[in-house]
Amino acid sequence: MISEKMEAAINKQIKDEMYSSNLYLSMVAYFENLGLKGFANWMRVQVQEENAHAMGLFDYLISRDGRVVLETIDKPPFEWSSPLECFEAVYRHEQLVTSLINELVDVAEEVKDRAAISFLQWYIKEQVEEEANCSEICAKLKLIGSDANALLLIDQELGARTYVAPVIA
Ligand code: OFO
């Protein structure tokens, strides 16, 4: 069994992870339209990761005999002024998600749900990685400025990213 408060908080986080997935899918389209296939590939992998984050919470709630209630997902933005501006938006978004995961842990602590506290540790660690990844790409994009050749090299690098399904436990 799971408390109503914990159940509602996890349902909200499922929605927020699905929003992240849609936000990054919108960025896939942005980069595809720019012809930056490598950036688009990086975002496609990110979409899969966010879907896995949502499904991890979804399956966890079911395993605790909770009720999954899917909520309305807001429309994501679809236009950015440059790859750097887009990645800065990713970085800000991931910082927001980190704060949401911390709030989720606060709820678990408040209702003394030890199992949820333990389960959510994976998400806490994942956020450290999520923030580090986009911060690194933002730094590179700032360094290259308007150098188109360097941008294409980064595009090549991001094109090599592959999806590895996470084991969320
Ligand atoms: Fe689910 O980590 Fe990004 O948002």
Task: Please give the mean pLDDT across all residues of the chain.
Answer: 98
Residue 150 confidence class, pLDDT cut points 50, 70, 90: very high
55 in any annotated domain: yes
Burial 46-68 (b: 16+ CB within 10 A, else e): bbbbbbbbbebbbebbeebebee
Residue 137 confidence class, pLDDT cut points 50, 70, 90: very high
CA-CA-CA-CA dihedral for 129, 39, 31, 55, to nearest 10:
-40
24 in any annotated domain: yes
User: In this structure, what are the phi and psi dihedrals at residue 63, rounded to the nearest 5 degrees?
Assistant: -65, -25
121 in any annotated domain: yes
169 in any annotated domain: no
Q: Ligand 1: which residue has its CA nearest to atom 1?
A: 50
d(CA 47, CA 58) in angstroms, rounded, equals 16
Range of the domain at 65: 4-159
| pLDDT tens-digit series, residues 79-96 | 999 999 999 999 999 999
d(CA 84, CA 139) in angstroms, rounded, equals 9
Residue 40 has a pLDDT of 99
51 in any annotated domain: yes
- Of 13, 20, 100, which is best to mutate to test ligand 1, by the most ligand atoms within 8 angstroms of its C-beta? 20
40 in any annotated domain: yes
The residue among 134, 125, 39, 44 whose CA lies nearest residue 89 is 134
Residue 22 has a pLDDT of 98
Atom of ligand 1 minimally distant from the CA of 17: 1
d(CA 154, CA 82) in angstroms, rounded, equals 14
Residue 135 has a pLDDT of 98
Residue 34 has a pLDDT of 98
Residue 6 has a pLDDT of 98
13 in any annotated domain: yes
Residue 169 confidence class, pLDDT cut points 50, 70, 90: confident
d(CA 140, CA 88) in angstroms, rounded, equals 12
Task: Verify whether ligand 1 is closer than 6 Å to residue 16 (CB atom).
Answer: no
* C-alpha 150 – ligand 1 centre gap (Å): 28
User: How many folded domains does the chain comprise?
Assistant: 1
C-beta separation of 95 from 131 below 8 A: yes
167 in any annotated domain: no
Chain-centre distance of CA 116, in angstroms?
20
CATH number of the domain that residue 45 is part of: 1.20.1260.10
| pLDDT tens-digit series, residues 30-76 | 999 999 999 999 999 999 999 999 999 999 999 999 999 999 999 99
d(CA 83, CA 139) in angstroms, rounded, equals 12
pTM over 0.75: yes
Q: What is the gyration radius of the CA atoms in the chain, in angstroms?
A: 17
d(CA 160, CA 169) in angstroms, rounded, equals 27
Atom of ligand 1 minimally distant from the CA of 54: 1
